[in-house]
Amino acid sequence: MTSKVIEYVKASDSRRIQTTIVQALGVNRVKNPEFLEYMKSALEDPDPALHWVAIDAVGRMSPEDRKAFGATILRLSVEPNEPENVKEMAMQVLKHQGQ
Over residues 65-70, mean pLDDT: 88
pLDDT digits (tens, 9 = 90+) for 34-57: 778 888 888 998 989 989 999 998
Do 39 and 58 form a contact (C-beta atoms < 8 A)? Answer: yes
Higher pLDDT, 50 or 15: 50
Contacts of 37 (CB under 8 A, 6+ apart): none
Highest mean pLDDT of the ranges 9-23, 27-41, 53-67, 68-82: 68-82
Higher pLDDT, 33 or 86: 86
